[in-house]
């Protein structure tokens, strides 16, 4: 008969043997994309830690059910139903939508669905990487202490009592001084 500690040790040993796969927190759906473009896009998104999921059929239905941070789709006849499905979904309504191919006229046709960016065809790696970087990187934040002139008010100023810098409203300080 096995003792409880041996059973626990055996269970922990088998749990430790299970390989852990790194799960991507962000996913991009590649919808109706050719293999050559899929390879380039997968590589570009992978550099930012974003996983790609290839979809060919039932894309609109999957976008209603599954959460994606972005999708890349060919701008053709099916694109309208897919984008409508994404924008009306609770989980994907704020996703980034990349169009693949198409002209400025086609982009205007789909503008009501809020296309965020368009990859030009033929897809080139440097241009694709630049576009992905532009949509993934947050804008720079201004941090640090304010300039020395803003930290202290002149003695004659009625605001001299408040020597606190207000970064959200620096113009209020300047209006009084």
Q: 2-31, pLDDT tens digit by residue?
A: 565 555 555 544 444 444 455 557 999 999
Are 67 and 127 found together in one domain?
yes
Q: pLDDT value at position 156?
A: 55
Same domain membership, residue 132 and residue 65: yes
Question: Would 50 be classed as within a structural domain?
Answer: yes
For the chain, the domain total comes to 2
Cα 161 off chain centre by: 45
46 and 107 inside one domain? yes
* Domain-embedded: residue 101: yes
- Based on the domain organization, do 115 and 162 belong to the same domain? no
44 versus 172: the higher-pLDDT residue is 44
* CATH label of the domain that carries residue 118: 3.40.50.2300
Same domain, 42 and 98: yes
Question: Is there a domain that residue 99 lies in?
Answer: yes
Tell me if 2 is assigned to some domain.
no
Q: Do 78 and 165 fall within a single domain?
A: no
This prediction has a pTM of 0.65
Confidence (pLDDT) at 131? 94
What residues make up the domain containing 156? 146-177
Give the model confidence (pLDDT) of 54-111 as tens digits: 998 899 999 999 999 999 999 988 899 999 999 999 999 999 999 998 777 877 888 8
Query: Is there a domain that residue 68 lies in?
Result: yes
Residues 144/150/153/158 CA torsion (nearest 10 deg): -110
Structure tokens at 15: 């749990």
Closest CA to 102 of 123, 87, 71, 128: 123
Instruction: List, for residues 104-146, the tens digit of each pLDDT value.
Output: 787 788 889 999 999 999 999 999 999 999 988 666 666 666 5
* 155 shares a domain with 126: no
104: left (phi over 0), alpha (psi -120 to 50) or beta: alpha
Task: Supply the pLDDT for residue 164.
Answer: 47
Predicted local distance difference test score (pLDDT) of residue 137: 61
* DSSP bridge partners of 71: 29, 97
């Amino acid at each position: 008969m096995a003792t409880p500690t041996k059973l626990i040790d055996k269970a922990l040993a088998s749990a430790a043997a299970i390989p852990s796969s790194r799960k991507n927190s962000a996913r991009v759906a590649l919808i109706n994309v050719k293999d050559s473009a899929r390879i380039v896009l997968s590589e570009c998104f992978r550099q930012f830690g974003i996983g790609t999921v290839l979809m060919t059929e039932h894309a609109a239905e999957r976008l209603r059910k599954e959460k994606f941070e972005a999708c890349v789709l060919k701008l053709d006849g099916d694109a309208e139903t897919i984008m409508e499905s994404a924008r009306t979904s609770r989980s994907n309504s704020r996703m980034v939508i990349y169009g693949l191919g198409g002209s400025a006229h086609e982009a205007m046709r789909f503008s009501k669905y809020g296309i965020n960016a368009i990859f030009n065809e033929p897809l080139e790696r440097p241009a694709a990487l630049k576009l992905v970087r532009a949509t993934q990187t947050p804008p720079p934040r201004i941090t640090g202490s304010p300039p020395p002139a803003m930290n202290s008010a002149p003695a004659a100023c009625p605001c001299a009592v408040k020597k606190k810098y207000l970064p959200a409203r620096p113009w209020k300080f300047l209006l009084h001084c």
